[in-house]
Amino acid sequence: MTFGFGEQGKIIESMTEAQLIADVTPALQKMFGSAAKAPRRAFATSWNSDPYAGGAYSFQAVNCTSQDHVTLATPASQSLLFAGEHTHELYRATVHGAFLSGEREADRVISQSGSVPAGSTLSINAALNLIGNGVEAPISVGAVFDDASKVLSVWKWVVSGSTQGVSYPAWAFYSPALADGGKAYAAANGFYVLTTINPGEGAWVNAKVAFSTVLPGGTAVQSTSFKPAVGTPASGGGVRALPQGWSLIGAGDSPTPATFSAAVAATGSASPVSGKVATSVISMWAWDPLKATWYFGSPSLVNSGGLDTYIASNKYSDFASMPSGRLSSTGGFWVNMPQSK
């Protein structure tokens, strides 16, 4: 079997069988020696001229970007969703891209239906893990991470609060290795005492060994709930309106940097000009504990066409290269929000 791409594909479609045999035989003899005989028969697909094929798989013309594939994945409505290799920003034109795009849209259907199946499994590696609570049910740190033979410490970033002796933003700390769970250590170091990872919050879990644990199920935390309030007095924000600067969070609707940025865009700016993504977040970061690398996304770099170069030069990874192509409901991420306008 041989491939003819682009213009060559069109030429091959127009050839007779005799011409195809005459065309391919010298190549076979170059590869296998002069003893290679001319094939008895030759067949070519006609996907270019076949109106029911209209081409074989997606092809990036000059000036196309990955963002065009994100645009093709944008749902038309809650009930009209798009999967297919052409909708995968990284693995387009492949079977695995098609497969992952199907999983992505299935996730979208589940999250739109408003619930994450009870018993989502949180997989922890023997490393620092960035986790998130994407379900509308609190995670009790003392109950889930109480095994000192597995867990060294758990850390949560708290942006604001009113606890005396804590200067915000501050780290909240828990350790099963300390008899009091780390209360005295936290007080001595100006940390907040960590007891709960609330819905929509993220945390670092430093683990000695790999293990998994089943988290409570419930309604999925929606990315739109992080929409910042705008104006003076501030209004229009979601129930978890993000402040400017850095927040460590988790969402249950499996966002990508592009979908999260669109979800938290202030009303009226959710639809940027055609071919561009909403720039309501500066950057989004998730940690891969096995590869020890950051997944990085920045809508403004997508729009300027500089994302791939930036990721490569900093040795980051693209969010689309996550095993599932996007965050899970147990995946935490950092988001950096611009100054409110």
Contact positions vs ligand FAD (CB under 6 A): 56-57, 84-85, 93-96, 98
Rounded to a whole number of angstroms, the minimum distance from the CB of residue 75 to ligand FAD is 16
Rounded to a whole number of angstroms, the minimum distance from the CB of residue 112 to ligand FAD is 21
Rounded to a whole number of angstroms, the minimum distance from the CB of residue 15 to ligand FAD is 17
3-state helix, strand, coil in the chain (%, to 5): 25, 20, 50
Nearer to ligand FAD, 104 or 240 (CB): 104
Give the span between the Cα atoms of 201 and 135, in whole angstroms: 10
Closest CA to 81 of 259, 278, 250, 227: 259
Nearer to ligand FAD, 98 or 335 (CB): 98
Nearer to ligand FAD, 83 or 307 (CB): 83
Nearer to ligand FAD, 12 or 98 (CB): 98
Rounded to a whole number of angstroms, the minimum distance from the CB of residue 341 to ligand FAD is 40
Rounded to a whole number of angstroms, the minimum distance from the CB of residue 105 to ligand FAD is 11
Dig out the tokens for 206 from the structure. 């430093």
Rounded to a whole number of angstroms, the minimum distance from the CB of residue 267 to ligand FAD is 34
Give the span between the Cα atoms of 103 and 86, in whole angstroms: 14
| E strand or H helix at 250 | strand 245-250
Nearer to ligand FAD, 94 or 113 (CB): 94
Going from the C-alpha of 4 to that of each of 1, 8, 23, 31, 142, the distances in angstroms are 10, 5, 12, 18, 61
Nearer to ligand FAD, 97 or 181 (CB): 97
Going from the C-alpha of 209 to that of each of 64, 98, 195, 245, the distances in angstroms are 44, 34, 22, 33
The maximal CA–CA distance of the chain, rounded, in angstroms, is 87
